[in-house]
Amino acid sequence: MSDPTSSELPNTAEAGQLSYAIFQLARAHRAHAAAMLRAMNLHPGQELLLMQLFDHDGRTQAELLERAGLDHSTVSKSLRRMQEAGLLTREPASHDRRVMVVHLTNAGRALQEPIADMWRTLEQVSVSNLTPDQIQAFTTCARIIEKSVRDHSRQSPGE
C-alpha cells in the first residue's frame, strides 16, 4: 500500500509543491462534493448559494455573488437553473427594478437539512485521518494562503 501523504509529483511542479497539493486537494474534494450534490440534483456551487439563502432569504443577486465567492456568470447560470428546477424565484426589487431579489421556494427550503447533512458528511470524510490539532492547523494555514492569494490578485490583476 502506498503512503497517502506522497504522490507522484511532475518535475515541473517541484518548485510549487504546495500549490500542486492544493490543486490536487481541491480537485478531489470538489469531485466528491459534486457526486454528493448530484444525488440531490444540484450542481457544484448551487449549494453555496442555497446556504446563503437559508441564512437570509431574499438576498439580492449581487449579495449572493459577493457572499458565495463565485463569478458572475456562474451565479447567473446557477440561479437560472435553480429557478427552472423550482427551488427559488427571482423578481425585481420594489426600490429598483434592475436589482433582482432571490427567494427560496418550499422546494428550495426543503433542501436545507439534506445540504447540511451532505456538508457534515463531506467534513467527516475530509478529516477522518486528522487529529483536532491538525484540523485547526490546516484550517488556519488554508485561510492564510487564501488571503495571500486574494491580496496578490487584487494588487496585480494581470499576472
Task: Look at 98 and 132; give whichever has higher pLDDT.
Answer: 132
Query: What is residue 136's predicted lDDT score, i.e. its pLDDT?
Result: 98
Among 6-20, 57-71, 80-94, 127-141, the minimum mean pLDDT is found in 6-20
DSSP for 12-33, written as a single string: GGGGGHHHHHHHHHHHHHHHHH
Give the percent of the chain with pLDDT over 70.
93
Can you tell me the mean pLDDT for 109-131?
A: 97
Residue 83 in contact with residue 67, Cβ under 8 Å?
no
Domains and CATH numbers, the chain: 18-126 (1.10.10.10)
Please give the mean pLDDT across all residues of the chain.
90
Can you tell me the mean pLDDT for 4-11?
A: 69
Q: pLDDT (tens digit, 9 = 90+) per residue, 29-76?
A: 999 999 999 999 999 999 999 999 999 999 999 899 989 888 888 899
pLDDT value at 154 more than 70 = yes
Q: What is the pTM of this model?
A: 0.81
Rounded to an integer, what distance in angstroms lies between the CA atom of residue 94 and that of residue 158?
Answer: 38
Rounded to an integer, what distance in angstroms lies between the CA atom of residue 37 and that of residue 108?
Answer: 14
Query: What is residue 6's predicted lDDT score, i.e. its pLDDT?
Result: 54
Query: What is residue 72's predicted lDDT score, i.e. its pLDDT?
Result: 87
Query: What is residue 123's predicted lDDT score, i.e. its pLDDT?
Result: 96
Query: What is residue 2's predicted lDDT score, i.e. its pLDDT?
Result: 45
Can you tell me the mean pLDDT for 17-29?
A: 93
Query: What is residue 1's predicted lDDT score, i.e. its pLDDT?
Result: 40
DSSP for 96-135, written as a single string: -TTSEEEEE-HHHHTTHHHHHHHHHHHHHHHHTT--HHHH
